[in-house]
Structure 1
Amino acid sequence: MDQNLTDRAFWKAFWESKKDLIFYIKPDYVFGNILAKLIKDNGIKSAVELGGFPGYYTVFFKKYQHIDATLFDYFIHEGLIKELLAKNDLKYDDISVVEADLFTYEPKVRYDLVTSFGLIEHFADVKDIISRHVALLNPKGTLFITLPNFTGANGWIQRKFDPENYSKHNITTMDPQLLMDICKELGLVEVESYYHGKFSVWLENNAQQSGFVKGIVKSIWLVGKLFTKAVPVETKALSPYIVLKARMAH
């Protein structure tokens, strides 16, 4: 089985099909409160966002946390990054950008915080892709990874209405216990992994769906939101994300 479940053509088409890519990043951006606490508690001065084009978290790190921020991706579109930075009152020179293949990249710089958001589930060998993150960590550095949870309600939506996108995800990665075990095998400490967020569902190709499908997804979304408002739980069945946190031992 190929390690990479996607290729450059997939990502080029993916980003070119996206609308509303450029927007203002708010201080409470998704996972922002968790990241702010990690940065404060661990004295983090530098961060890299792996597979993060066009760089939403790179903007967050620079704009609100005032740390050295690097965007690393296999596919970089400089024009879109400049548009995003300008929208957020930043310049291209305010951040670092690395366009490279993580599997052949020889690290020249390491970071206090290595992050990725919706990256590791696109690879077949979970331990290997996490080890690529770890290789970029400074001593006592912090690892922070998030991925979608397709093992509950949102996974059913993906399988039913967007099987092509679903097939690009390695569902076995979406297991907090597995992720913790891998981090411990890699020598990391202070390892945590858990389901995150109240109910949400989505479709990457929502704009191309029929009104009927859009109606079904919206109805499920509304019912789930009402339920988790009354019963605010974070579970495998309902939560849209999985979070993984860990640190280098030394």
Structure 2
Amino acid sequence: MDNLLTDRQFWVNYWESKTGLSVNIPANYLFHQQLAEIINGQHVKTAIELGGFPGYYAVFLKKYFKLDVTLLDYFVHQPVTNSLLSANHLKESDIHIVETDLFNYTPETQFDLVLSCGLIEHFNDTADIINRHIAFVKPGGTLFITLPNFKALNGWFQRSFDRENYDKHNISCMDPELLASICKEAGLDVIQSRYFGHFSIWLENEKQKPAGVRAFKKTVWLAGKLFTRIFPFNSRQLSPYIILEARKA
């Protein structure tokens, strides 16, 4: 089976459909607390974001932690990234950019922190893509991976109202125990592998969906937020994300 669930044209179309990409990234950006704990606790100086165009986390790490940051992706439209940097009062030279196919690239250097957010679920061979991440981690460094949890209510929503997008994801990899076992097999110490977030649902290009779908999504979103505000907990059924943190010996 082909390992890729997407191709370059998919990502060209995906990013060309987006507007408002050049945003001012806040200090409380998603996963900010987890990243801060890693950076401060492990004295991180260098980091690479894999598959992260236009580079939101690379910008976040440079802007708030002053790390030496690299962005690697096989689709990088430089003007978009430059506009994002400008919106966050950074220079083009503040982030190193490597535009390459991760599957035909041997890391030239290793990093204190290797992260990807929403990458590994687009490949069929989960162990292979995680091990490609691990190749970038220096001894003593940290691997931090996040991905959506489409085994939760959010997944039902995607499958029901955006099946094309849902089918671009490897649902079987959305399993904290599986992710932890792959890292352990590779010799890493797993710090955490768990469901994250109390509740959320979303749709790609929501404004293009029928009004009835948008209204239903808003109703479910509000009900879920109210419920988990009263009963806050992480779970397979409701949490929108999975996070994996592991350390190389």
Which TM-score tier does this pair reach, normalised by the shorter chain?
Answer: over 0.9
3-state DSSP of counterpart to 2:103: coil
TM alignment of 1:31-46, pairs within 5 A: 31-46=31-46
> After superposition, what is the alpha-carbon deviation per residue over 1:94-122, rounded to whole angstroms, capped at 9, x for unaligned?
11000001111011111110000000000
Which blocks of at least 5 consecutive residues in structure 2 are unaligned?
Answer: none
Moved over 4 A (4+): none
Q: Which residue matches 1:208? A: 208
> Is contact 1:191-1:247 (8 Å) kept?
yes
Alignment partner, residue 3 of structure 1: 3
Tell me by how many angstroms 1:176 deviates: 0.3
Secondary structure, in 3 states, of the residue corresponding to 1:238? coil
8 Å Cα contact 1:189/1:248 also seen in 2: yes
Residue 156 of structure 1 aligns with which residue?
Answer: 156
State the alpha-carbon separation in 2 of the partners of residues 198 and 74 from structure 1. Answer: 32
1:47–1:70 Cα contact (<8 Å) kept: yes
* Number of residue pairs aligned between Structure 1 and Structure 2: 249
What does residue range 230-245 of structure 1 map to in structure 2 within 5 Å? 230-245=230-245
Partner residue in 2 for 1:182: 182
Aligned to 1:73: 73
Partner of residue 95, structure 2: 95
TM-score (norm 1): 0.98
Q: Tell me how far apart the structure 1 counterparts of residues 232 and 20 of structure 2 sit (CA, whole Å).
A: 30
TM-score, structure 2 normalization: 0.99
Report the secondary structure of 1:23's partner residue: coil
Q: How far apart are 1:20 and its partner, in Å?
A: 1.7
In structure 1, how many angstroms separate the alpha carbons of the residues matched to 2:170 and 2:191?
Answer: 22
Q: Secondary structure, in 3 states, of the residue corresponding to 1:59?
A: helix
Q: Which amino acid aligns with 2:116?
A: S
User: Are 2:183 and 2:190, in contact at CA under 8 Å, matched by a contact in 1?
Assistant: no
Distance of 2:198 and 2:98 partners within structure 1: 34
Q: Deviations over 1:97-155 (max 9, x none)?
A: 00001111011111110000000000000000000000011111100000000001000
Look up the match of 2:25. 25
Matches of residues 99-118 of structure 1 in structure 2 within 5 Å?
A: 99-118=99-118
Distance 1:177 1:145 in 2: 14
CA-based RMSD of the aligned residues comes to 0.7
SS where residue 103 of structure 1 aligns? helix
The within-5 A match list for 1:105-144 is: 105-144=105-144
Indicate the residue corresponding to 1:56 in structure 2: 56
Structure 1 distance, partners of 2:152, 2:66, is 37
8 A contact 2:143–2:245 mirrored in 1: yes
Identity across the alignment (%): 55
> Residues 199 and 224 of structure 2 are in contact (CA less than 8 Å); yes or no, is this contact kept in structure 1?
yes
Counterpart contact for 2:114–2:142, Cα < 8 Å: yes
Matching residue of 1:82:
82
The one-letter code sitting in structure 1 at the alignment partner of 2:89 is D
